[in-house]
Amino acid sequence: MPHDVRGFTSFCDALLADGLSLGCGDAKGIHSIIPGTWEHPAPGSPVRWHTGDPETDPWEWRMRVLEERDDIAYAKLFFRTSGYIAYSLYPLFYAVRRRGEPMEEAYSRGTVGSAAKRIYDILSASGGVPLHDLKLLGGFTKTEKSAFDRALTELQMRMFITVCGREQKRDKNGNAYGWSSTVFTTVENFWAVRGKQLGEEDPERAYAALFERLNALNPAIDPAKAEKCIRG
């Protein structure tokens, strides 16, 4: 039965019950608990995008789950777009997508590119780093913008890094200014600061459990799309 999501609290309750959701109202044939989309709000629902209301604006929920909860992750997780995964399922996705492969091994095998490794090495050494500083610390030039963006998405999809909050730029006097920038950290650090571990789940058993979960959430799901959702 669909959840009656009418605000942030019911959104979190539904997410913890289901374990995952795409980051917008468009389920893309998988699963979303957010009512309506940016262009087409759900009739009769108080949920509306980009109003700035922290209770009913899903755009605000992205950061609220990171700032107020310790059991939900948000990042580009499905089909190279945003999504949420509750801690109850996160170790399973982590096992499937990482398969116990550390960054050095992934890089040496060529499954991760040099731009991605530059980003990961900075975050691994520094903890949380806002997007604007990440570009500077990594020495990314304007001509490398596309490579930087692709690497950032690749690292999120592979579950090497994740979003952990937001932070404004600061002037030379330390005063905050401008729009907030997304802050990234390693997946391991994200859960460690929340007092949780990822464990060492068997990748094949994890995949089977996730496939079963997706079918329970969406009995009409296309098997090929379910596999892509799980494997990233």
Q: What is the identity of the amino acid at 139?
A: G
Sequence-separated (6 or more) residues with CB below 8 Å from residue 142: none
Statement to judge: residues 87 and 144 lie in one domain: no
pLDDT at res. 171:
67
Q: For 150-163, what is the mean pLDDT?
A: 98
Q: What is the DSSP string of 172-184?
A: TTS-EEEEEEEEE
Q: Are 8 and 15 in contact (CB under 8 A)?
A: no
71 is in which domain, residue-wise?
1-97+200-232
Percent of the chain whose pLDDT exceeds 90? 86
What is the per-residue pLDDT for 147?
Answer: 95
At 192, the amino acid letter reads A
Same domain assignment for residues 79 and 110:
no
- Give pTM, 2 decimals: 0.95
Shared-domain flag, residues 19 and 78: yes
Predicted confidence (pLDDT) per residue in 29-62, tens digit: 999 999 999 889 999 999 999 999 999 999 999 9
Say whether both 86 and 58 belong to one domain. yes
Same domain, yes or no, for 74 and 152?
Answer: no
> 60 and 2 share a domain?
yes
Same domain for 108 and 51?
no
Cα 39 from Cα 20, distance rounded (Å): 22
Q: How far is residue 212's CA from residue 207's CA, in Å, rounded to a whole number?
A: 9
DSSP secondary structure letter of residue 42: P
Residue 170's pLDDT is what? Answer: 74
Is the same domain home to 15 and 84? yes
8 and 93 inside one domain: yes
Number of domains in the chain: 2
| Shared-domain flag, residues 84 and 126 | no
Bridge-partner residues for 84, per DSSP? 21, 74
DSSP-derived secondary structure letter, 144: G
Residues 59 and 127 in one domain: no
Tokens 């374990």 -> residue: 19
Q: Tens of pLDDT along 61-103?
A: 999 999 999 999 999 999 999 999 999 999 999 999 999 999 9
